[in-house]
Amino acid sequence: MKNKKILLTGGSGMLGQNILNNPLSKKFDLIAPSRKDLNLYDYDQTLKYISLLKPHLIIHAAAKCGGIKYNTEEPLEFLSDNLEINKNILNSSKENKIKNFLNISSSCIYPIGNNKPLEENKILTGSFESTNEGYALSKIYSLKFCEYLSNSNSNFKYKTLIPCNLYGCYDDFSEHRSHLIPAIIKKIHLAKIKNKKTVSIWGDGKSRREFMFAYDLGDFILNRLESFNKLPFLMNVGVGKDYTVNTYYKKIAKIIGWKGIFTHDLSKPNGIKRKLVSIKKQNLLSWKPETSLIEGVNQTYQYYLNNYN
């Protein structure tokens, strides 16, 4: 992959920034256009951009993302916007005969009701979690596009990674769009500086979640580019361990130094009970993320203080 053009979509997002700011990225000719230069909502522009660039490989990390509140309130927006983005980049890549494509999916595509680690063959074996069904459906489209194209023509290697939940530097801390860990960091930080004695947790806090530091996923992707042909066509990437929402609140409160009391708003949704991905395929590649939860939260909190405080 050295000296060969690699197009990265979503370069301004959390994962995109963690790829671009990794020292390993300097080994490649990574091109991450802004939305002004590449509007993925515009098929004709996307088709033309890829035709002129002629990248050797595309990493598709662009997506319209948001937390449980935003997903619940705007399922049609998450379905239609992400479907348009995915449809345009995938069809443009196929039409331009781009042979190598790395699609970044999401663990929200797995069905509810599974207490064991989620293996890749469990996809489409049950119902989606209702709070992010629209987003999940758009991700299923891109996964199946990659699968169908690769199966029908061996010249196309369109592969999909399914990461567990991500957090880290360049995360979104806005009230409407933030996911669990940035939302907790902001909520507890504000409670500390305002001397609040209580912090409310949505639901009962017993749901379990797995989180990976986004830098580690970026590191995994960059380390696999030179051996892209050996990467499975569909695989999870995770840390192999999960915690309850209550535990994340307690750990982050300790890091920030807030010593108040947690309450629970049982009128709010809990979300899926458990979403731990199986990392059997990942283990076969002899790779595991290096950043501990404590270290990752510390770095994320420092990023928040430097950029949002």
Residue of 123, 55, 66, 133 whose CA lies nearest to 89: 55
* Rounded Cα distance, 4 and 180, in Å: 37
Residue of 211, 159, 283 whose CA lies nearest to 14: 211
* Rounded Cα distance, 34 and 241, in Å: 35
Residue whose structure tokens are 């983005």: 85
Give the up-direction half-sphere exposure of residue 10: CA atoms within 13 A in the CB hemisphere.
24
Q: Give the 3-state secondary structure of residue 234.
A: strand
Residue 135 annotated to the active site: yes
* Rounded Cα distance, 307 and 309, in Å: 6
CA end-to-end span of the chain, whole Å?
40
Residue of 54, 91, 104, 86 whose CA lies nearest to 224: 104
Residue pair 98/113 in contact (Cβ under 8 Å)? The answer is no
**Could you say which of 49, 135, 167, 304 is catalytic?**
135
Per-residue HEC secondary structure of 172-214 comes to: CCCCCCCCHHHHHHHHHHHHHHCCCCEEEEECCCCCEECEEEH
Per-residue HEC secondary structure of 280-299 comes to: HHHHHCCCCCCCCHHHHHHH
CA distances from 300 to 22, 168, 184 (A): 16, 5, 11
The catalytic residues are 135
